[in-house]
């Protein structure tokens, strides 16, 4: 259940509602969403308790929600969420393109990629200053120095920037530098990290965990929203299956499924799903045809020398050619790039 509190309500009114919920052992959380105050209740109470809640003068409405994720549910928010950052809208009519290297390696590398993306419709320069790696001996990213290079590229090329955060201790630092924070697949259920980005004040890209169900994914989004951040962008990046022809299996069915379950925008990362660049054009086109609101694609000026994931990175010229195809697919779907 979601309980919407009237704007005229006082702290004492909210405390009275919480006492009622506690008497009936109903777990709940008070959420300040902009100018609105909402109380999310873990379970739907009985009809008798629901009537008691609706009778309180401070309650504007008490809405039962069938799913365990309340705030992320389409039932709670029938209108699609459109996240506005600068001059772009994620979740609107236009498909948003985010592209760039897997990791920030140097100023020269980042500048070369940003220069190569010019004129291709890219709105967001993706790159990571902190890198989660399977091997502890692999390149782990440039850290704060990388963040500063990212900001410099933003100022020079007029692009928004997004990057991954891995540690609760780094959230404030990362949020101070970038426009969009990304939670990687390995951290999808790092609940302390989800709570912290819920307080950071920046839009969050939440990647699907490698072996996570759609409900588990939405429950992770719920953590972020319930801690004060409604600007969550879901990112399908493939799941782990028995198939080894690709790095992961891109679950394109998740896009139309999510569109029927949640109001949140959905984007796709075909690079991490494929693990090889030759499949990126087909997967990107299919994602747009399936209803994705954007793409997150790896582009590197010299993939053979990349310190991370070079095999799944397009050259800038290959990216430009792909965008020409994607524009046709978007037009066929009644959308634009």
Q: Is residue 76 part of a domain?
A: no
Q: Is residue 277 part of a domain?
A: yes
In a shared domain, residues 45 and 89: no
C-alpha 170/C-alpha 174 separation (Å) is 6
- Helix/strand/coil percentages in the chain, nearest 5: 40, 20, 40
C-alpha 337/C-alpha 323 separation (Å) is 9
Q: Is residue 78 part of a domain?
A: no
Q: Is residue 72 part of a domain?
A: no
pLDDT tens string 273-312:
999 999 999 999 999 999 999 999 999 999 999 998 899 9
In a shared domain, residues 23 and 168: no
Q: Is residue 77 part of a domain?
A: no
In a shared domain, residues 57 and 100: no
The share of the chain scoring above pLDDT 70, in percent, equals 100
Of the two residues 311 and 141, the one the predictor is more confident about is 311
In a shared domain, residues 50 and 152: no
Mean pLDDT of the chain: 94
pLDDT band (50, 70, 90) for residue 141: confident
**Where do we find the tokens 């029938």?**
78
Cβ proximity of 178 and 150 under 8 Å: yes
Of the two residues 176 and 138, the one the predictor is more confident about is 176
pLDDT tens string 226-283:
999 999 999 999 999 999 999 999 999 999 999 999 999 999 999 999 999 999 999 9
Q: Is residue 44 part of a domain?
A: yes
Domain that holds residue 54: 2-63
The share of the chain scoring above pLDDT 90, in percent, equals 87
β-pair partners for 249: 239
Q: Which helix (H) or strand (E) holds 115?
A: helix 107-117
In a shared domain, residues 39 and 172: no
pLDDT of residue 131: 80
pLDDT of residue 204: 98
pLDDT of residue 138: 80
In a shared domain, residues 19 and 136: no
In a shared domain, residues 32 and 162: no
Q: Which helix (H) or strand (E) holds 331?
A: helix 316-332
pLDDT band (50, 70, 90) for residue 134: confident
pLDDT band (50, 70, 90) for residue 135: confident
150-177: average pLDDT: 96
In a shared domain, residues 13 and 87: no
Nearest to 59 by CA among 41, 78, 77, 46: 41
Q: Is residue 69 part of a domain?
A: no
Q: Is residue 75 part of a domain?
A: no
Looking at the 3D structure of the chain, how many domains does it have?
2
In a shared domain, residues 93 and 240: yes
Tell me, what CATH number does 32's domain have? 3.30.70.1140
Bridge-based pairing of strands 232-236 and 204-207 is parallel
C-alpha 107/C-alpha 244 separation (Å) is 35
67-89: average pLDDT: 94
In a shared domain, residues 223 and 277: yes
- Residue 179 in 3-state DSSP? coil
Count of CB atoms situated within 10 Å of the CB of 236: 28
In a shared domain, residues 39 and 102: no
Burial class (CB in 10 A: 0-12, 13-18, 19+), 19: exposed
Phi/psi of residue 258, nearest 5 degrees:
-60, -35
pLDDT band (50, 70, 90) for residue 198: very high
- Written in H, E and C, the secondary structure of 287-330 is HHHHCCCEEEEEECCCHHHCCCCHHHCECHHHHHHHHHHHHHHH
pLDDT tens string 320-335:
999 999 999 999 999 9
Of the two residues 329 and 76, the one the predictor is more confident about is 329
Count of CB atoms situated within 10 Å of the CB of 265: 26
pLDDT of residue 309: 85
In a shared domain, residues 50 and 98: no
Angle in degrees, CA 52, 57, 60, rounded to 5:
85
**Where do we find the tokens 């801690």?**
227
Nearest to 203 by CA among 179, 170, 171: 179
Tell me, what CATH number does 231's domain have? 3.20.20.70
Asked which of 31, 63, 95 is the last residue of a domain, the reply is: 63
Phi/psi of residue 77, nearest 5 degrees:
-145, 75
pLDDT of residue 23: 92
Cα-only R_g, the chain:
21
Cβ proximity of 143 and 129 under 8 Å: yes
């Amino acid at each position: 259940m979601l309980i919407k509190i009237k704007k005229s309500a006082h702290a004492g009114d909210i405390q009275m509602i919480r006492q009622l919920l506690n008497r009936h052992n109903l777990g709940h959380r008070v959420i300040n969403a902009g100018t609105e105050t909402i109380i999310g209740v873990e379970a739907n109470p009985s009809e008798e308790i629901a009537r008691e809640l609706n009778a309180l003068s401070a309650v504007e409405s008490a809405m039962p929600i069938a799913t365990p994720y309340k705030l992320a549910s389409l039932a709670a928010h029938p209108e699609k969420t459109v996240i506005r950052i600068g001059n772009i809208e994620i979740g609107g009519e236009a498909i948003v393109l985010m592209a760039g290297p897997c990791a920030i390696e140097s100023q020269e590398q980042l500048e070369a990629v940003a220069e190569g993306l010019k004129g291709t419709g890219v709105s967001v320069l993706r790159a990571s200053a902190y890198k989660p790696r399977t091997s502890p001996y692999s390149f782990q990213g440039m850290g704060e120095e990388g963040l500063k290079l990212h900001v410099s590229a933003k100022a020079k090329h007029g692009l928004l920037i997004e990057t991954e955060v891995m540690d609760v201790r780094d959230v404030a630092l990362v949020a101070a530098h970038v426009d969009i924070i990304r939670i990687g697949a390995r951290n999808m259920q790092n609940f302390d990290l989800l709570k912290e980005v819920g307080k950071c004040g920046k839009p969050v890209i939440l990647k699907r965990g490698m072996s996570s169900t759609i409900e588990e994914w939405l429950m992770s989004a719920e953590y972020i929203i319930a801690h004060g951040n409604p600007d969550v962008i879901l990112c399908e990046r493939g799941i782990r299956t028995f198939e080894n022809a690709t790095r992961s299996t891109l679950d394109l069915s998740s896009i139309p499924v999510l569109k029927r379950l949640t109001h949140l925008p959905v984007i796709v990362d075909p690079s991490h799903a494929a693990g090889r660049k030759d499949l990126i054009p087909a997967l990107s086109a299919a994602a747009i045809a399936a209803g994705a609101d954007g793409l997150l694609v790896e582009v590197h000026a010299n993939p053979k020398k990349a310190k991370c994931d070079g095999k799944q990175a397009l050259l800038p010229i290959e990216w430009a050619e792909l965008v020409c195809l994607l524009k046709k697919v978007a037009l066929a779907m009644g959308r634009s790039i």
